[in-house]
Structure 1
């Protein structure tokens, strides 16, 4: 069944209005007609089954038939901070990371970032990244669309670390030393008080050349925990997805007792 994220103001207790590209997709591509149903999500955790009542050129009206259970989000709110990679690799990270349950994405520039950042093109690229996140959230039956934030600098990322309950720095040197995610995540899970709600976790992934030693030191001084992803070296677009899977497992999403 088709699933669409719509602005909260277009969904009341009893009715839903679909507009723009979503309305054109449901009406023209899916050839919806009165009586057909779809799922509408307000991005805030409210999902409903809606029945089409009227199909217009740029808008589709529907009645709310049933409020659905919304349980597709990770137990931990994980923001993926990804140093800008070359080509369209960030699109892969956003698409697959959304499927894996990421709460938000923070692209940033680090010392070894090799891509030439063009601020004039940022708005266009940001729109595309957000569209990819929305489509991936719909495809994977998420209840919320991850926030894709504007590109920031390394210093800004460092300053933001104080706002998280746990900051993980995916650092290959720690992996070679045998210091991996397992112990850090296990300790955090055991110490976290569920009464505090969902923990906010920042997962920082470096560029193709990895973090510079000075960056790792600066991040550690700001509260980040440098941790390896094992003894192998991942491509930058693979590291975040691998780490997200580890976080999903440790949070209890894949079975067992959820501790947050």
Structure 2
């Protein structure tokens, strides 16, 4: 069943309107008709709705009283990714949304080759948010992940204070064959907790950054004996969490 996120909540009679690109998608792409059913997500709940009518620039829907199955991870996972090259953030935004990410925080790492262009930053962030919204609809999420504006490394450490668990992927852990496997750490995480997992850019984290993270309460984790690309590591972690908690 096609899924859309409502911009405005249902009124007291269970009626809502869909406008903008979603209205065009229903009308022109899906070619739906009055009486067809869609899933409309409002305040984290997927409502099964019937299409009542097509107005000039909106689709009017009514809640049937039925709801869709919940599909969110039982833990709240935020990914902090060192700014990577090219369109890797777009890939992470899309695939991590499909895998259950709650928020993506790009940050300027010491070894980030890319520098965030403030003039083009708003457009880049808007595109990432659109990608996340479309991926949330496709994967039947009931929450669109938050795509944050990039932070400095220092501000990211401040933001980390609000999370229950903070981890960072450390390739040195993988090289050394130490026992800090992510599976071991996940066994100590409980449903409902908030988790921040940090990843470096293409060049990895510097040792000074790793030391600062440990000093801020982050726990280093190994993602196995192979060194993963910066766009692969977040997806690996989310897959491991899905296996552990779902």
TM-score range, shorter chain: over 0.9
Tell me what 1:185 maps to: 186
The 5-angstrom pairing of residues 28-107 of structure 1 reads 28-42=28-42, 44-107=43-106
Q: Equivalents in 2 of 1:57, 1:215: separation in Å?
A: 55
Q: Are 1:16 and 1:50, in contact at CA under 8 Å, matched by a contact in 2?
A: no
Alignment size in residue pairs: 244
Which digits, 9 at most, give the CA deviation of each residue in 1:23-71, with x for residues without a partner?
Answer: 01101221222111111001x3221111111112310001111331441
Which digits, 9 at most, give the CA deviation of each residue in 1:122-156, with x for residues without a partner?
Answer: 11011100000000000000011001111111001
Q: 1:173 to 1:231 in 2, by over 3 A?
A: same
Tell me what 1:18 maps to: 18
Q: Equivalents in 2 of 1:64, 1:239: separation in Å?
A: 40
Tell me what 1:258 maps to: none
Aligned-residue RMSD, C-alpha: 1.4
The 5-angstrom pairing of residues 159-198 of structure 1 reads 159-177=158-176, 178=178, 179-186=180-187, 188-189=188-189, 192=190, 198=192
Tell me what 1:154 maps to: 153
What are the ranges of 5 or more consecutive residues in structure 1 without an aligned counterpart?
Answer: 254-260
Q: 1:161 to 1:24 in 2, by over 3 A?
A: same
SS at match of 2:50: strand
Q: Equivalents in 2 of 1:212, 1:103: separation in Å?
A: 26
Q: Equivalents in 1 of 2:14, 2:116: separation in Å?
A: 46
Q: Equivalents in 2 of 1:137, 1:12: separation in Å?
A: 27
Q: 1:47 to 1:12 in 2, by over 3 A?
A: farther
How high is the TM-score relative to the length of structure 1? 0.90
Q: Equivalents in 2 of 1:77, 1:86: separation in Å?
A: 27
